[in-house]
Amino acid sequence: MSPEAVIHIGRKAVETILLTSAPMLIAAMVIGLIISIFQAATQINEQTMTFIPKIVAVFITLLIFGPWIMELLITFTTGIINQIATVGR
């Protein structure tokens, strides 16, 4: 396998990781921002208040984006397996 092929596979892997994790990370960030604004406005400084809403938001986001994430992972895995099969010939 050439160095260019390895770099291409690595780049695609990082791209796939970023795309699959982005929806959950963005949801957690938005919920955290909303809760921190609420805490600043009400002067409630409870650290555990952020965990449950973030977890719920991440799970809901995972339910919504789950099929898209699975399609992305299946496409990536199929491409890797096809590349291995063509290199082996």
- For the chain of 89 residues, list the mean pLDDT of each consecutive stretch of 10: 84 96 96 91 82 93 96 95 79
Residues 58, 21: Cα–Cα separation, whole Å? 10
**Given this model, what pLDDT does residue 89 score?**
63
CB-based contact 72:20 (threshold 8 Å): yes
**Given this model, what pLDDT does residue 68 score?**
96
**Given this model, what pLDDT does residue 88 score?**
61
Residues 85, 36: Cα–Cα separation, whole Å? 50
Tokens 């555990």 — which residue?
Answer: 48
The distance between the two most distant Cα atoms of the chain, rounded to a whole number of Å, is 66
